[in-house]
Amino acid sequence: MKAIYIIYIIMAWVTLPVMAADAAAGAEKISTCAACHGIDGQATAGIYPNLAGQPAAYLDMALKAYREGQRSGGMSAVMTPQAVNLSDEDIADISAYYSEQ
């Protein structure tokens, strides 16, 4: 039972920053993202992932991991420089936007 409470606390802590996100503001911040991931979250080429409908918490976590250099391999050489200058608010807004597509 105690483990369930811990899981709830962790989930609330992880998703709290995402809940304060503004998808409309995110729409104004995706110009660089859209080149690969599309305006509507549908990738422009098969080597890029579709972001439309992905959970905002996942997108938020992934962008922060790229920003902090915690992801390597795959497309990290492309994503890390894109994410490095994003604030937590930018990431939350972009994540909210793509999750709503």
CA distance 71 to 64: 9
Which of 95, 23, 28, 98 lies closest to 64 in space, CA to CA? 95
pLDDT in 10s for each residue of the chain, 101 residues: 566 545 555 555 555 554 578 999 999 999 999 999 999 999 999 999 999 999 999 999 999 999 999 999 899 999 999 999 999 999 999 999 999 99
Domains of the chain, each with CATH number or no CATH: 2-99 (1.10.760.10)
Residues 26, 39: Cα–Cα separation, whole Å: 11
Give the C-alpha separation, 71 to 19, whole Å.
24
Task: Give the pLDDT of residue 20.
Answer: 73
* Burial status of residue 36 (CB atoms within 10 A of its CB: 0-12, 13-18, 19 or more): middle
- Cα separation, 34 vs 45, in Å, equals 11
